[in-house]
Amino acid sequence: MSENQPFEPVIIGFTCNWCSYRAADLAGTARIKYPPNIRLVRLMCSGRLDPTFVMKALANGADGVLITGCHPGECHYLEQNYKALRRYYLLRRTLAQMGVEPGRIKLVWASAAEGVKLAEEITKMVEEVRSLGPLNWPRWEGENGHKAGMELKAEEVAV
Amino acid sequence: MSANGKPKFAMYWAASCGGCEIAVLNIHEKILDVDANFDVVFWPVAMDAKYKDVQAMPDKSILLTLFNGGIRNEENEEIAHLLRQKSQILVAFGSCACEGCIPGLANLSSTKEIMDSVYSSVSTVNPEGIRPQTSYLMPEGEIHIPKIYPVLKTLDQVVPVDYYMPGCPPESHQIGAVIDLVVKVLHGEASLPPTGATIGADKSTVCDDCPRERNVKTIKSFKRIQDIEKVDPNLCLLEQGIPCNGLATRQGCGALCPRAGAQCIGCYGPAEGVVDYGARLMTAFASVIDSQDPEEIERILDTLPDPVGQFYRFNLAGSLMRASRSAWNGNGKT
């Protein structure tokens, strides 16, 4: 991004196949607008969200991460969204200790019918992160060392 | 090869405590095998040698270099590059070189905070407020000390590393086994593992070596081990609420701490395939917390007052985030 352009936050959104991903779909078919700053990644469940994904996103240039899942009690896999909730709390505390503002990590429940709500939450989060400014976490420095060019494959972080 | 026909061996310490050197000497009579099979050319702790002696060696003339310690300052990095250039096999030896270890926890603080704490806090008698200067003019001329880096780096963040040998320090029997292997390789009786492999440890987790009984874990609060009146000697420590890191930590020590009644603190680093050790532990700890109520979950998490210390005690510099923002800020980068 050049210096003259205003800061556009990059937000990685993790969505659940059974609810929030469909909510995003619904928002699309209903022509509800939300800012293009978010890049959605579909998981089978918010319980699939390994904190590794969030830290990899932040360490590789994302300014914020949005985690979405089914409302409590409505998880397709019974109670995995509660695990997501606990991981989110723990992750937020850990990242706060590393100096990452809690506002950059957000958890939102959105059912498949809540396209409007999801779009609103995305819009709200983009504005919040915009006001926090760029995260700019230093990346691995290019040419040095083995791990410099390390790319994470999804399989490597499989539970 | 040296004049006596033996391959050359070097060991170096960067930002480390010296425990790795003790661990090497602690292999007892096997140290004689090292001497019988190698010509020790450079080992600052054990013998006198100068950097210029190493600089004078032909490239790739040292067969095996064990490098322990993280990269904390310019000198560490310079010697890491030098030894990489002169060595055929460079081993990141011990937790500091592999993943930063305890010195890596300084990555939570800026250089200024570190210096204030070391030179100006109540723990130091320093009435004149003297701080280290990287250059100083003496009557004999200007002298220099190496600059500290704002963020401690692991060895493989600076130079390519052939093998990783985890542990704080690596267990003596594991060092012995690696030396046996290298000697066999020298005699053509075995072959080296693939480059980038972790040696002197197994692939699974400490739990696999732990004899304690394991059941479904449900935790209502985390406890410090000293706050428990009687720790059940046969039951999984995590089930008793003691934050034990064994379930993400690489197998290799034989579960020494849990056997002795203390929680695993994770010195053997991440198990095979784990990208971020702390993330894996967060996943596990959050899974076993027995609550679905947001307020209660927060209360339970309050009993883990230092998450980074718990999840990244040995691993911060080698983790995905690598350091805190205040440490990066010391670099002027963020």
Q: What is the ipTM of this complex?
A: 0.91
Q: Are B250 and B268 in contact (CB under 8 A)?
A: yes
Q: What is the pLDDT of residues B256-269, one digit of tens each?
A: 999 999 999 999 99
Angle at which helix A51-59 crosses helix B277-288, to 10 degrees, equals 150
Domain count, chain A: 1
Q: What percent of chain B has pLDDT over 90?
A: 76
Other beta carbons within 10 Å of B33: 15
Q: What percent of chain A has pLDDT over 70?
A: 86
Co-location of B161 and B21 in the same domain: yes
Q: Is position A100 within any domain?
A: yes
Q: Are B257 and B263 in contact (CB under 8 A)?
A: yes
> Is B304 a residue whose pLDDT tops 60?
yes
What is the pLDDT, as a whole number, of residue A2? Answer: 55
**Closest chain A CA to residue B301:** A90
> Is A5 a residue whose pLDDT tops 90?
no
What is the pLDDT, as a whole number, of residue B150? Answer: 85
What is the pLDDT, as a whole number, of residue A34? Answer: 95
Q: Are B100 and B152 in contact (CB under 8 A)?
A: yes
The domain spanning residue B113 has which CATH number?
3.40.50.700
Co-location of B171 and B74 in the same domain: yes
Q: How many angstroms separate the Cα of A158 from the Cα of each of A50, A53, A70, B221, B290? A: 8, 11, 22, 28, 23
Per-residue burial over A123-135, b = 16 or more CB atoms within 10 Å of its CB, e = otherwise: bebbebbbebeeb
Min Cα–Cα distance to chain A from B30, Å: 32
Q: The domain containing residue B269 runs over which residues? A: 206-303
Q: Is position B309 within any domain?
A: no
The residue ranges of DSSP E strands in chain A, in sequence order, are 11-16, 38-43, 64-69, 105-109
Tokens (6 digits) for A71 = 């409302």
Tokens (6 digits) for B134 = 């990287």
Q: What is the pLDDT of residues B110-124, one digit of tens each?
A: 888 888 888 888 888
Hunting for tokens 């046969």 — which residue is that? B234
Co-location of B77 and B180 in the same domain: yes
Say yes or no for a CB contact (<8 Å) between B196 and A146. Answer: yes
Q: Is position B231 within any domain?
A: yes
Q: Is position A86 within any domain?
A: yes
What is the pLDDT, as a whole number, of residue B308? Answer: 97
> Is B92 a residue whose pLDDT tops 90?
yes
Co-location of B239 and B196 in the same domain: no
Q: Is position A156 within any domain?
A: no
What is the pLDDT, as a whole number, of residue B59? Answer: 97
> Is A143 a residue whose pLDDT tops 50?
no
Co-location of B29 and B133 in the same domain: yes
Q: Is position A3 within any domain?
A: no
Report the distance separating Cα B311 and Cα B244, nearest Å: 10
**Residues of B (138-167) whose Cβ lies below 8 Å from A:** 156-161
Mean pLDDT of A129-141: 86
> Is A155 a residue whose pLDDT tops 50?
no
> Is A6 a residue whose pLDDT tops 80?
yes
Report the distance separating Cα B269 and Cα B248, nearest Å: 8
**Contacts A87 to B, Cβ<8 Å:** 282-283, 286-287
What is the pLDDT, as a whole number, of residue A146? Answer: 40
Q: Is position A143 within any domain?
A: no
Q: Are B87 and B62 in contact (CB under 8 A)?
A: yes
Q: Is position B317 within any domain?
A: no
**Closest chain B CA to residue A81:** B292
Co-location of B1 and B113 in the same domain: yes
What is the pLDDT, as a whole number, of residue A151? Answer: 34
Mean pLDDT of A4-17: 93
The closest of B334, B318, B325 to B113, measured between CA atoms, is: B325
> Is B329 a residue whose pLDDT tops 90?
no
Co-location of B155 and B216 in the same domain: no
Q: How confident is the model at residue B80 (pLDDT cuts 50, 70, 90)?
A: very high
Q: The domain containing residue A46 runs over which residues? A: 11-135
Mean pLDDT of B214-235: 93
Q: At B298, is the secondary structure helix, strand, or coil?
A: helix
The closest of B70, B46, B65, B45 to B54, measured between CA atoms, is: B65
The domain spanning residue A44 has which CATH number?
3.40.50.960
Hunting for tokens 């993400």 — which residue is that? B248
Q: Is position B84 within any domain?
A: yes
Higher per-residue confidence, B62 vs B333: B62
Q: Is position A145 within any domain?
A: no
Q: Is the pTM of this model over 0.80?
A: yes
> Is B13 a residue whose pLDDT tops 90?
yes
Say yes or no for a CB contact (<8 Å) between B321 and A137. Answer: yes
What is the pLDDT, as a whole number, of residue B1? Answer: 54
The closest of A150, A95, A111, A139 to A15, measured between CA atoms, is: A111
What is the pLDDT, as a whole number, of residue A152? Answer: 28
Q: Are B251 and B268 in contact (CB under 8 A)?
A: yes
